[in-house]
Structures are given as C-alpha cells and as structure tokens.
Structure 1
Amino acid sequence: MHCILCENLSFYIICKNCQNRYLQPSFYKREIEDGFFNYSFYALSEIQELINSKYYFYGDKVYKILAYLSFKTFALNFSYKQKVFAIAIDDHTRHDFSHTAILASSLKSKYILPKYNILKAQNHIKYAGKDLKYRQKNPRRFKVKNLTKQTTILCDDLITTGSTILEAKKALENKNNQVLFSLTLADAKI
C-alpha cells in the first residue's frame, strides 16, 4: 500500500512519518452558544482532503488514524465525576462505515462511553457549501432514541456555523440530557 500523502510504501494509508509530520493535532476552542463550547483538533484547511475521504471506500482508514491522533488522545486525558456518553451526530452508515461513529468509538475510556444510534437526523439534506441562513431554513430535525437524563459529549467531524451541533444539543436537552461540550476533528473558521 502507498501512503496517500507522500506516496511512499506503507503498512498504513497514511504512513507514520506523515502522521508525525503533518497530523499532530492542536486544540481549538470556539464558543458557539453562550457558555457552550466546541473543541477541534485541526483547522479545516489543514485536513480538508482527509475530511472528504468519508465519501470514499478508504475513508474509514483515514478517520481511524485521525480519531486515534486526536479524539483518543483527548479521551485518555479527560476526567469527570461520572460516566459521560459520547454521542455521534447522525451516525448513519455511508460507504460501509459511519465516520461519526468512528470518532465516538475512539473516545472510549475510563470516563467516556460511546453510544450509537442515539441521535438521528430526520432530514438528510446536504449542508456542504451552504450558509447559515440555508442551514437554519432546513433543520436536520434530530430524533433522540433511548437516552434520557444522561451527561453527554457530542461528536462530529466538522464545525462550520455550529447550527448542526446546536440543533443536536437542543434535541438531547429536550430529553433531559446534559451536553457538556462538542468535539470535532476540524473547524472551518480557523
């Protein structure tokens, strides 16, 4: 196999050298609602092509590497007074995998337990390249299944306007869940 970044032979889709050289995460914090924060590990401009791998058959391998480098490291350093559930935003399967489920699964730790098929969009409209006005006019209409009165963290691959995360947060809160914050791989505004 060849590394998709440097094209050298590798056992991984992104070789260890490129992981160390190009994919060391930073930590970005953005307030998207009064007192509610999203934390990201990359600027979208740094990993745009890798984020787009979710549309291809090899995307699960890319997302597993990105999740390991960022979400897994975060989880190992996170502590809380009680168990927290990692909730993937709309973890339906595309191209034989769910990119948000991969992210949530990498958060499994002493304090974080991933939960799947909890938060599903009823409206499957595409937001890529759309502005805030369009997103607000076409909400995802999230439905929460089998989760009430729990402490949660939201997981997604990308934050642009924050409208999807805020809509997901509201849906969880409507079922008496607490949402501590959200985590995304990348922030489009950095």
Structure 2
Amino acid sequence: MKCILCENLSFQIICKKCQNTLLQASFHKREIEKGFFNYSFYALSDIEDLISSKYYFHGDRVFNLLAKLSFFKFAQNFTYAQNILAIPIDDHVRHEFSHTAILARHLNSQNIKPKYNCLKAQNIVKYAGKDLEFRQKNPRKFKCTKISNQMTILCDDLITTGATIKEAKKVLEKRNNQVLFSLTLADAKL
C-alpha cells in the first residue's frame, strides 16, 4: 500500500515518517461561549484532505490514525475526579462508519468511557462550506436519549462556528448532564 500523503510504500494508510513530520498534534483552546471551551489538535488547513476522507471508503483508517495521534494521547494524560462519558456528536453511520464514534472510542481510558447513540440529529443537513447564518437557520435538532445526570465531553471532527457544539451542549444540559468541554480534531479558525 502507498502512504496517502507522500505516496511511499507503507504498511499503514499514512506512513510513520508522515505521521511524525506532518501529523504531530498540538493543543489549541477556543472559547465558544462564556466559560465553555473547545480543544482541538490540528488546524483545519493542515488536515483538510484527511478530514474529508470521512466521505470515502478508506476514511475509517484515516480517522483511526488521527484519533490515535490525538484523542488517544489526550485520554491517556487526562485525569478527573469523576468518571466522564465521551459523547460523539451525531454518531450515525454514513459511508460504512461513524467518524465521531471512532474519535470517541479513542478516548476510552481510566476516566473516560465512550457512550454511543445518545445524541442524534433529527435534521440531516450538510454544513460543509456554509456560514453561521445558514447554520443558525438550519439547526440539527438533536435528540438526546439514554443519558441523564452525567458528566460528559462532546466529540466531533471539526469546529467552524461552534454552532453545532453549542446546540449539542444545550440538548445534553436539558437532560441534566454537565458538559465539561468539547474535543475536535481540527479548528477551522486556526
């Protein structure tokens, strides 16, 4: 197989050299509402092609690798006094896998446990390339099931305006859940 970045021969979809030189995760913090923060690991401009792999058959391998380099490392170093649930935002399966479920799975650790199929969008609208006004006029209309009175972290692949994360947070809080913060692979504003 060839590395999808450098096209050199590799046993993985992205070779070790590219992982070490091009995909070193760094930690970025953005306040998306007063006192509520999103943490991301990459600038969207650095991994945009990799994020768009979620639309293709090989995307699960790309997301597993990105999650291993970022979400997994985060979870191994994160401690908290209580147990926390990692909630993937709208983890329905499209294109044979759920990219947000992959991210949440890599948070599984001593303090964090993923919880799937809890936060589903009732309005399946594509936000890619859309502005804040479009996003506000076309909310996801999340439905929260199977979870209440829990400490949580939200997981998604990308933050642009923060509208999706804020909407998801509000829905979880209506069921008496506390959302500590959100984690995304990439931030479009970096």
TM-score category (smaller protein): over 0.9
Give the distance between the partners of 2:107 and 2:125, measured in 1 at CA: 28
- 1:96 aligns to 2:96 (yes or no): yes
Q: Secondary structure at the match of 1:189?
A: coil
Give the distance between the partners of 2:16 and 2:135, measured in 1 at CA: 38
- Residue identity in the other structure for 2:57: F
1:177-188 aligned at under 5 Å gives the runs: 177-188=177-188
Shift, 1:95, TM fit: 1.0
Match of 1:159 in 2: 159
Shift, 1:54, TM fit: 0.2
Give the distance between the partners of 2:130 and 2:173, measured in 1 at CA: 26
1:80-91 aligned at under 5 Å gives the runs: 80-91=80-91
Match of 1:69 in 2: 69
Shift, 1:132, TM fit: 0.5
Match of 1:60 in 2: 60
Cα deviation code 1:136-175 (max 9, x no counterpart): 0100000001100000000000000000000000000000
- Residue identity in the other structure for 1:107: L
Q: Secondary structure at the match of 1:62?
A: helix
Give the distance between the partners of 1:104 and 1:46, measured in 2 at CA: 22
Give the distance between the partners of 1:34 and 1:72, measured in 2 at CA: 27
- Residue identity in the other structure for 1:49: D
TM-score computed with the length of structure 1 as normaliser? 0.99
1:10-159 aligned at under 5 Å gives the runs: 10-159=10-159
Shift, 1:94, TM fit: 1.0
Give the distance between the partners of 2:59 and 2:173, measured in 1 at CA: 31
**Count of residue pairs brought into register by the alignment:** 190
Give the distance between the partners of 1:125 and 1:98, measured in 2 at CA: 16
5+ residue gaps, structure 2, are: none
TM-score computed with the length of structure 2 as normaliser? 0.99
Match of 1:8 in 2: 8
Q: Secondary structure at the match of 2:71?
A: helix
- Residue identity in the other structure for 1:160: T
Q: Could you say what the CA RMSD is over the residues aligned between the two structures, in angstroms?
A: 0.4
Give the distance between the partners of 1:162 and 1:124, measured in 2 at CA: 17
- Residue identity in the other structure for 1:76: Q
